[in-house]
Structure 1
C-alpha cells in the first residue's frame, strides 16, 4: 500500500511481437516485472533497459545522417548498415520496459484492465503478445479468472508460463502440509532457534557449543532460507542438544528452562525426530539446488524442463531407497548423541473395521513403529513432491511438444522429413488465430 491507499502490483512480463509493416519480420518486446522505478508512467520515462545503450550506438554510427533509425524497429531493418545488423544479431530484437502502476482493483479483471490500458499507452497491440509470465497468485495465474486466462481468451497465442522457482516453493508448501508431523516440523525448528535468540546470554551458550553453522530463523516465504535453518541443526544435532540442556540448567525462567529441556529430550533426544531431520534436509537440499539453477540469467526452457524432470526422477528413486538411507544416517547421529536408535513404541489403538474395508490391507496401528513412520510420514511427503512437481510443471511439457524440435540444432537435425513436417504443422496450428498463423509450415 502506498500513501494514497492504492495497492501497487507488478504486472509481470508480457512478451510481445510488434506488428511488422509490409509483411516484414516480427520482433519480441519484453515488459520486465522486476526492479521498477518509482516514477509516474508515461512514454517519456519508461526505462529501456540495456538496449537503450544500443539505441545510442546506432545513432552514433550515422552522425552525418539527418534521420537516425531505431535498429530495433522492424520497419527499418532493410536500411541498416552492417555494424547495426551485428548489434541487432548480438543483442536480439527486444526492449526491456520497467513499469510501475498504481492499482486499486487487485482482482484478475482489475489487473487485466490495467494491463490492457498500459499496452494501449505504449501503442502495443494485444494480439501481438506471444508470451506472459507472472507470480503464482490466483489473481494472476488463475485458470478461470486470472490475468493469464483473460489474456488467453483474447489472444490464444499469448502462451503463459508460471515462475518456475515460485512453483518449486509451492511444491515445498504442498509437502509441508501432507500430515500433522510434517506441519509441526518447522514449528519445532523455529522453537529451537527462538530459545537461543531470546537473549544474548543464551545465544552465547549456543556459540560456545557450535563450531560451524549458526541456526537461522524459519522464514514464512523464503523457502531457500529454510534449507539453512534445517542444515544448521542437521549437521550439529549433538552440539545444539547440549546447548539446550545447558540453557535448561542455568536459566532462571521456569518456562524457558522447561521448554529447552523438552526440546532436548523429546525432539532432539528422539530417534524419530532425527530421522525426520535427515529426510527433510535431503528433500530441501535437492529442491534448492534445482531452484538456484533455474534462477540463472541464461536459463532456457529446455534446460529447465530437464532439471525439473531430473528432480522428479530423484524423488522417484528416493521413494524406493531414501528411507533406509535416512535410517542409517540417523543411527550414526543418534549414536554420537548417545540416544536410542529405535522408534518409540506407542499404545495400539483397536479400531473397528467397516464393512467396506479391505481385510487384506494391514491396519497401520498393527505395523511396527518404523514402518508406521515410513507410511504416515516419509511416503506422503515424497509422493506429494512427485505429484506437485508433475502437476505444476505439466505446462512445460506441452511447450516442449510444441517447440521442442527447435530447442537445439541437434534435435532439429535428428528429425526425418516426415517428423519435421508434422512438428511444423503442429507449431503452425499453435500460432494460429482467426485463420491466420505466424508461420507457414510449408516454408
Structure 2
C-alpha cells in the first residue's frame, strides 16, 4: 500500500515526497503499526514525514478504552444496544414504541467505528426514558405476545430501573455530548494542530472536573428513580488470612454505593482523563509545538517557535526562510491575515 501511495503522490500528483513533512490517517493497525504499518514504510522513504494520528479517531479510541476497563460500563452499553435490537427486531414492537414516544427521537444503534453514535443512542434513551419503560411494560403484560418476548421485555425494564443504570445513563450522556462536540470541531476543515491540542486539553480538564461530580450525577439519577437504591452485591464474602503485621484494625466493608463510586465511577473517569492526556502530551502537543513556526510568526508563544525565529537553523532539512517561502506560497489566504515580516528577507 505504501508503494501505491508513493506512486500516486509522485506520478499523479507530481509532488516531491522528499519535501513531505507529515502524514495523517486513522489508527488502524495496517496504517499506524510501528514496524509494518504504512506510516513506518513512508518514514523509511522519508524520515521527516511525521505520522500524525487522526484526532477524531483517537478520540473514539479514548472512549472505547474507558468502556473496556470496567465491566459495569460494558454491561451498560450492552443494555443500550439490546434495547435497540429488541424493538427493531419486530415491526410490531417498533410500532408500539413509536406510539409511546410520539415525536421524540427513536432508539439508535451503537457503532464500533463512530463513537458519536453512542452519544445519539444515550440521548435518545434519556429523553424518552419513561415512555420506553411504558412500551416495555405494555409488551411484558400483553398476553398475545410470545413468552420469550414478554420475558425479555420484563428483564430489560428491570435493568433500566436500576439506580446504577440510570446513573451511567446520565454520566455517559453528558460525557459523550462533550466528546461529540469536540469531535465535530476536530473534523472542521479549518482546524490546525494547535487547535487540536487545545481541544484535547480542554476536554481533559472537563473530564478531570467530573471526578468531583459523583453526587450531582447521583442526584440526577435519584430524581428519575426516587425510590430506588444501589443494588447490593450478592457475592460470597472472602475470608482473608490475617498476617502477623496486620494489627488489630477491623476490615473495611464498603457499601454498595461506595463500591460503585470507587470501582466504577472513579475507574472510568480516571481512564478517560489518563488516555486524553497521554495522547495530548505524547502526540498532539508535541507536534503542534514543532510546527508552530508556520502559524505563530515572530510573536510565537511556544518555546520551540521562538527559538526557530531567533536562530534560523535547519529544521528537518529546510531552513526557516525556505519553510516560510513555501508556506506563504501554499497558504496565502491564511498568512495574509497575520502580521508577519517578509519571509524572503529572513536570514539563512
Q: What range describes the TM-score normalised by the shorter chain of this pair?
A: 0.7 to 0.9
Aligned twin of 1:423: 308
Aligned twin of 2:130: 238
Q: Tell whether 2:299 aligns with 1:413.
A: yes
How far residue 330 of structure 1 moved from its aligned partner, in angstroms, is 0.6
Match of 2:284 among 375, 386, 396: 396
* Residues in 1 aligned to 2:180 and 2:49: alpha-carbon distance in whole angstroms: 30
Contact conserved, 2:163 with 2:225, CA < 8 A, in 1? yes
Q: Tell whether 2:5 aligns with 1:118.
A: no
How far residue 245 of structure 1 moved from its aligned partner, in angstroms, is 0.5
Relative to structure 1, is the Cα distance of residues 370 and 364 closer, same or farther in structure 2, using a 3 angstrom cutoff?
Answer: farther
Relative to structure 1, is the Cα distance of residues 405 and 162 closer, same or farther in structure 2, using a 3 angstrom cutoff?
Answer: same
Gaps of 5+ in 1: 1-110
* Residues in 1 aligned to 2:288 and 2:250: alpha-carbon distance in whole angstroms: 44
- SS in structure 1 at match of 2:283: helix
Aligned twin of 1:137: 28
Aligned twin of 2:112: 220
Instruction: Figure out how many residues of one structure are paired with residues of the other and give that number.
Output: 318
How far residue 208 of structure 1 moved from its aligned partner, in angstroms, is 2.1
- SS in structure 2 at match of 1:133: strand
Aligned twin of 1:366: 253
Contact conserved, 2:194 with 2:289, CA < 8 A, in 1? no
Aligned twin of 2:196: 304
Deviations 1:364-391 (A, max 9, x none): 9821111101122111211111122222
Deviations 1:203-243 (A, max 9, x none): 22212221422111222322212211111111222111111
- SS in structure 1 at match of 2:22: strand
Match of 1:264 among 157, 161, 170: 157
- SS in structure 2 at match of 1:143: coil
- TM-score normalized with structure 2 length: 0.82
- Structure 1 ranges of 4+ moved more than 6 A: 362-365
Contact conserved, 2:163 with 2:229, CA < 8 A, in 1? yes
Q: After the TM superposition, which residues 163-178 of structure 1 pair with which residues of structure 2 at under 5 Å, given as runs?
A: 163-178=54-69
Match of 1:254 among 132, 144, 147: 147
How far residue 262 of structure 1 moved from its aligned partner, in angstroms, is 1.0
* Residues in 2 aligned to 1:365 and 1:348: alpha-carbon distance in whole angstroms: 16
Match of 1:160 among 51, 56, 60: 51
Q: Tell whether 2:218 aligns with 1:331.
A: no
Greater radius of gyration (CA):
1
Q: Tell whether 2:64 aligns with 1:188.
A: no
Supply the RMSD in Å over aligned alpha carbons. 2.9
Q: Which has the higher helix share?
A: 2
Contact conserved, 1:431 with 1:439, CA < 8 A, in 2? no
Range with greater deviation from structure 2 (216-225 or 302-311): 216-225
Gaps of 5+ in 2: 322-345
How far residue 344 of structure 1 moved from its aligned partner, in angstroms, is 1.8
Q: Tell whether 2:272 aligns with 1:381.
A: no
Deviations 1:53-93 (A, max 9, x none): xxxxxxxxxxxxxxxxxxxxxxxxxxxxxxxxxxxxxxxxx
Deviations 1:374-420 (A, max 9, x none): 122111211111122222332111123323355345xx42669x986
Relative to structure 1, is the Cα distance of residues 363 and 238 closer, same or farther in structure 2, using a 3 angstrom cutoff?
Answer: farther
Range with greater deviation from structure 2 (167-176 or 390-399): 390-399
Aligned twin of 1:56: none
